[in-house]
A and B are shown apart, each in its own frame.
Chain A
Amino acid sequence: MNNKNYLFQEVLLKNPVLVGTIGLCPVVAISTSLKAALIMSAITIITLIIAQALTSLLLKHLPQWVRLGLYTLVGMIVVIPSMYIADKYSPETMLALGIYFPLLAVNPLVVRNCEREAVDSSFGRSIVTSICAGIGYSAVLIIVGIVREILGAGTIWGKEIKFLNPAAAFLMPVGGFIIIAYLAALLRVYFRDIDPEFADDLIENSRTNIKGSRKAKLQLKGAKYADGSGAEPRQKRTKAPKKPKEKRRPEQEKQPKQKLEVMTLEEAEELRSASLPPVETTVQAELAPLENEEQAEIVAKAAESKPVSDKTSRFEFVTLDLSKEAKSQEEAERFAAAVAANKEQRAQRQKSKRGQTRKVKEEKEGEEE
């Protein structure tokens, strides 16, 4: 990866504020003017560089719980001299920042970057990553600072803009959150133009998604997270009548285990369209359109017995062990073949989709020329 791509990835794709939702306190509370934003940016970048350099050289040999405690001291080492300088040369900024200034010593961005990047990387690489992360964070701080100063105070770098009626709300965290919401949305629009699939992944793998059983259930229900069109409204579950358990035959138990890969969302949709047993049969109300009821029951049981992991996304597969429930090996083989065929179809569709987007881009470029 060349340097330009790396910078692009670190600054935009991994933006700590707009993508990672980290270090929000300084952004929403402190960056109320361009001057304050620049001071904070400088402090953050210096803290990041020092902390990551120290971590890659010395701290990585210490246990994690000790390291985590020392990052605040590193932050303090940087913030105290900057407070002293700010107090001497720009006391009004120091007053405006108030108690938020010393709180920069506990920026979670420093902890995250040190633990994710600096611990496992060399000194040089950790310096580069710290600068990139600092640039990404500072970019957001400065943009938010400029917009808030204009809309909230009606000034830019202290100079008054006459035709504006400022609103105090923009100097409060309310304004900060509104501006970063629009910035995050703009970033999505930008990604959607470049790579629509990545934009969908950004929504899917967002940190703000609820991690827990509810998300997994929704995914199994067939909620449309993967294609980005939002979740379906909740459906009431209807209990299917219980059937008496059948005793397993000894021959069946001796059969070798066959693990089938079943995709959670998109493949399920495609399986349904290909008139094959759908995966989302865990919702018992949706069993009706299946051709073979016994098969549907097997799939439902298997899916219920294996909970979906928290990290399940559309790229991950839920592995269901159907060997215990499958009545014959043929049935399992048919299912596996169907899934494999489906995968191929999906890959072909993705290829054609990419080709289409390229064509459209080329046409646009041609028209512009």
Chain B
Amino acid sequence: MKLIAAFFAAFVYVSLTQNLVLTGGYGASEAIRSAARPKQIMLFSIMIAYFSTVTSLICRVVLFIPAFKNSNEIVSLAVYAAVLTLVYFVSVIILKVLLKTSDWSDLEQEKFLRQTAVASFNTIVLAIPFITEKATYGVHEAIAQGLGAGVAFLIATVLIHIGMRRLEDNTEIPMSFKGTPALFMYIAILCLAFTGILGKSLFF
């Protein structure tokens, strides 16, 4: 029961309270680009959830090995990046086998694999093992972190997408701020909201 409670606490904290995209800026550019393509939001978020969960889990298990237990950030980076690359290659090989049996054209398959790469080599995915290590989370919390990262990305992307739609319809935005600058401002306001939820002070 304690494990389940800890799992859900970590999941809710990462996905809702400490939204990694909006309070940490992790994967911000991917979130903006994904928000501009509403049809891909769900798929991309699932991919991020998958890669962050699997990577986080494997990295947490690796930390049980005594040699890596008290390693510094340099060793951690080498291990985590290697694990992420390995997870990516294994996943892509499995996907390629599966896609061979599908009706997708070569171009569609290539596009899908490209998306997979963008989703895997992402700051939000690589950040999860580091956060897990810093917070000394257990295996179940590491899984919750990974899943929470996917949900956090989905929430951020949907919020950004809604903002984009509103900004497109808004005629009162000054010409110089129309488009990207207005969107950056909107994301800043979202960040402000989530920083408030997290309880951080904006002034010293």
Chain A residues near B (Cβ < 8 Å): 18-19, 21-25, 28-29, 64-65, 68-73, 75-76, 79-80, 83-84, 87, 99, 101-103, 105-106, 108, 111, 166-169, 172-178, 180-182, 184-186, 188-189, 192, 199, 202-203, 206-212, 214-215, 218, 228-234
Contact = CB atoms under 8 A, between A and B. Distances in A.
**B contact patch SS:** helix
Contact of A106 (B74, B126, B170, B204): B126
B37 A111 contact: no
B16 to A, nearest CB: 17
A167 B202 contact: yes
Contacts of A105: 77, 81, 126
Interface stretch (B2-10, B59-67, B114-122, B145-153): B114-122
Given A83-B73, A166-B204, A24 B32 contact: yes
Instruction: Please indicate which of the listed interface residues A75, A229, A230 has the most CB atoms of chain B within 10 Å of its own CB.
Output: A230
B180 A208 contact: yes
Given A65-B92, A102-B130, A168-B201, A19 B180 contact: yes
B88 interface: yes
Nearest to B192: A174
Contacts of B134: 99
Contacts, number: 219
Contacts of B123: 25, 103, 106
Given A24-B32, A65-B92, A184 B180 contact: yes
B191 A172 contact: yes
Nearest to A230: B171
A64 B114 contact: yes
Contacts of A182: 181
A66 to B, nearest CB: 8
Contacts of B204: 166-168
A214 B39 CA distance: 11
Nearest to A81: B74
A79 B187 CA distance: 29
A69 B8 CA distance: 32
A231 B188 contact: no
A189 to B, nearest CB: 5
A172 B181 contact: no
B76 A102 contact: yes
B33 interface: yes
Given A172-B191, A231-B168, A79 B178 contact: no
The 4 closest A-B pairs by CB, nearest first: A181-B184, A68-B117, A177-B188, A29-B25
Given A173-B191, A230-B169, 5 more contacts: A21-B33, A64-B113, A72-B81, A102-B80, A177-B187
